[in-house]
Amino acid sequence: MTSRKKRANAIRILTMDAIQKAKSGHPGAPMGMADIAEVLWGDFLKHDPSNPDWCDRDRFVLSNGHGSMLIYSLLHLSGYDLSINDIQNFRQLNSKTPGHPEYGYTPGVETTTGPLGAGISNAVGMAIAEKTLAAQFNREGHEIVDHFTYCFVGDGCLMEGISHEVCSLAGTLKLGKLITFWDDNGISIDGDVKGWFTDNTPERFSAYGWHIISVDGHDAQAIANAIEQAKAVTDKPTMICCKTVIGFGSPNKSGSHDCHGAPLGDDEITATRNFLDWPDETRFAIPEDIYAQWDKKEQGKKDNLNWSEKFSAYQSKYPALAAEFTRRVIEGELPVDFDQKANDYIQLCQSKGESIATRKASQNTITQFAEILPEILGGSADLAGSNLTLWPGAKGIESDAAGNYIFYGVREFGMSGIMNGISLHGGFINYGATFMMFMEYARNAVRMSALMGIQNIFVYTHDSIGQGEDGPTHQPIEQLTNLRTTPNLTTWRPCDATESAVAWKMAVKNQKAPSALIFSRQNLSAINRTNKQVSDIERGGYILTSCEGTPDVILISTGSEVQLALDAAKLLTAQGQKVRVVSMPSTNVFDAQNNDYKETVLPSAVNKRVAIEAAHTDFWRKYVGLQGGVVGINRFGESAPGHVLLEHFNFTVQEIVNTVNTVNAL
């Protein structure tokens, strides 16, 4: 039997060879954490290389994602569909081994990790999903949801503010199946961290309510004992503090930042092979006996089969629960009647014609959809009473693990990162809410959601200067442009209850990408529509009112300004102009329509166009052109009642008329 050290050294060999061939990369972390990884993946991790998506697998997250060759080595050695050629193509175009782990590129990679701290936030989300799913589905003697989340973090992850947000909440929620390994090597890109990171990390995590274990990160038996201890603690997450040497094995560069983010060099690789007692100088060559000991395909199949047998017994005793688990978790499908029930509710909204704030319309929709979708897992960053994300059936998971709502506290960034983890885990449609302005705190996690192409519903209320008295710190200006121009993110800004319900329906159905739903604080008028207009809301933009023949001017608007556009159209019509009003709740969805449809809504022959939205004007130039007009706002707001501010900043019928007249004069 090959020694543990030699199996760990296989990681080190693949790491330094791949990075040297690529002429870039980070050898330090993989080489330093190889011993920890060998114990975890060799003795504890429950997974099936032949079925990377098996629902009851343990999750492994490499939060310090720059150390990507660690996970690529582990996946390759244990038998995933990741060949030695893939390892040799590290950091190359279209390879399965990009510079940082990318979700969807590599079988076995659970999440994209590049921004430090993102991975630990995802891991907390995965652990929440496991605990809540287990509480909802497990029954005595039938534990069909029973897996751990393991996460590697470095000093950089723990310096990032998001780690404080999510690890604090993890302790509060008593996530006993979350086990984190801190690579305590004392080195970052700039050198020894003593100059900028002197936290007492064990005490910090103890204060969060975590279980703390400290070990030598190169002592395999101590690591194994620590994992056993961690698994036995069921009411606290565990932090295993692993004292390591960065770049372990490199005689001249280990222990320093010289091996953090650059290839070791040919001479140092030769010296490292000698130090590790690895006589074969052939690059990327791993002995067959080491491959055989690393291979987890047979064990994975056995574990998967054991689970299948457990699930069969569960099906026999709890057929309805098993069918629901299959739909939600294994197949990831919506209820078969969702479309019909959602459409019925949309029609109800239209017929009722309530003039309410769209945040209230959103709450009404959540209440309705939660009855259809037991997989809904909602939440808010401490503003539930303002963004109206609670509903009568909401139950906080902090008091009932089988609940359906997360009180995230004031943690906008942490909330969004956790949401990514919940989505990646599977089994839930989750949403999280804050004021639109505070999307800024969460921006990176929102981008990561879009980058990975995973479903999340980001609910943002208080969407403009109409927010009012709280002033410019709370009033978004440029944020809509930010969201709309994020690839793979669909943004909706509805104008009334009907559009709000449609936005929610489309977000629920958008299972391969995140959605941002933007809602008002102030009450908005209900809009009269035909059945076709109601149907056309789903196309992102549609004709709300028109005229005989070709319009002289087209008014384009969203959200709270749609009624203003309609009022202006009446005055312009009275003045003898032919006016069309287009409501465009989602520019992203409208842009994806075929050209014929877009031409019917915005005919190219009509170049007199004016956009109206209480947000930055520049975005709208793509629709109105350089000769068109935009009634918007290009400065920060003020503190005053919302209706006062809207008038002060010229969101008035007369301003729209004046703008139209200016455009007509060009």
SS3 state at 421: helix
User: Hey, what are 45's tokens?
Assistant: 């991790």
The alpha carbon of residue 610 and the mean position of all alpha carbons in its chain are separated, in whole angstroms, by 35
Q: How many other CB atoms are there within 10 angstroms of residue 557's CB atom?
A: 29
Q: How far apart are CA 383 and CA 385, in angstroms?
A: 5
Phi and psi (nearest 5°) for 261? Answer: -135, 35
DSSP letter for each residue of 614-651: SS-SGGGHHHH-TTSEEE---S---SS-HHHHHHHTT-
Half-sphere exposure of 368 (CA within 13 A, CB side): 25
Phi and psi (nearest 5°) for 187? Answer: -130, 135
Do the beta carbons of residue 63 and residue 73 sit within 8 Å?
no
End-to-end alpha-carbon separation of the chain, Å? Answer: 84
Do the beta carbons of residue 381 and residue 408 sit within 8 Å?
yes
Do the beta carbons of residue 293 and residue 1 sit within 8 Å?
yes
Q: How far apart are CA 132 and CA 148, in angstroms?
A: 13
User: Hey, what are 389's tokens?
Assistant: 């994300």
Q: How far apart are CA 515 and CA 537, in angstroms?
A: 16
Q: How many other CB atoms are there within 10 angstroms of residue 379's CB atom?
A: 26
* 412 a catalytic residue: yes
Do the beta carbons of residue 123 and residue 108 sit within 8 Å?
no
User: What stretch of H or E contains 407?
Assistant: strand 405-407
Q: How far apart are CA 12 and CA 170, in angstroms?
A: 32
- Partner residues linked to 405 by β-bridges: 378, 396
- Partner residues linked to 213 by β-bridges: 240
- Partner residues linked to 143 by β-bridges: none
Q: How far apart are CA 237 and CA 220, in angstroms?
A: 21
98: CB partners within 8 A, 6+ apart: 68, 91, 105, 106
DSSP letter for each residue of 226-274: HHHHHHH--SS-EEEEEE--TTTT-TTTTTSGGGTSS---HHHHHHHHH
Q: Which of 165, 412, 561, 613 is catalytic?
A: 412
Q: How far apart are CA 420 and CA 445, in angstroms?
A: 8
In our burial notation (b when 16+ CB lie closer than 10 A, e otherwise), range 268-293 reads bbebbbebbebeeeeeeebeeebeeb
User: What stretch of H or E contains 492?
Assistant: strand 490-492
As annotated, the active-site residues are 412
